[in-house]
Amino acid sequence: MYLQSISHVLLLLLFLVFTAWVAWEDIRTRKIPNKAIVPFFLVFMAFQVITDRANMLDYIIGSVAGCVFLLLAHAFNPKGMGMGDVKLMAVIGLLVGWTGVALTLFLSCIVGTFVAITLILTRRMTIKDTIPFGSVLAPIAFVTFAFDWHKIFWDFLISMV
């Protein structure tokens, strides 16, 4: 149990570094670098295989579902949703599973909308401008993962049925 706690703290710290780096790069350059995505994808995949093999299908479904959802958004509006966001969702899905992906996307859309409206009202951007979605998606994913919101969300969905 103690080693599992240490490994989860290390994973949380790694995910914090990853999400902070990705958010910063997306704000600064409007691009999410592959040099961030690929190594962290491999590290997080290895971590899940080693520590939580029983739930691996959930993580793979989350990774694929998040990619497909954002890939559709990219297909409809390539200037509004970049491929970096799609690849970022693959990494996020590995850590939060499909329920976490659903919650992360939902909360990111709400927060992103609030940020955009605020920037429009303060005249820092126009209605035709876009915000870098990875800068919203990454911190929301971290909070969802860190506080197990995806598990609470799943329990809420089950109780509704």
Q: What is the pLDDT of residue 154?
A: 67
CA dist 32 → 73, 95, 129 (Å): 17, 18, 18
Q: How far is it, in rounded angstroms, from Cα 134 to Cα 67?
A: 13
Calculated CA dihedral for residues 54, 55, 60, 66, nearest 10 degrees: 180
- Confidence label for 153 from pLDDT (cuts 50, 70 and 90): low
Q: What is the pLDDT of residue 52?
A: 83
Q: What angle do CA 111, 116, 118 make, to 5 degrees?
A: 95
Question: Could you report the per-residue pLDDT of 100-129, keeping only the tens digit for each?
Answer: 899 999 999 999 999 999 999 999 988 888
Yes or no: say if 132 and 80 are a contact pair by the CB < 8 Å rule. Answer: no
Asked if the model's pLDDT at residue 130 lies above 90, the reply is no
DSSP, res 133: T
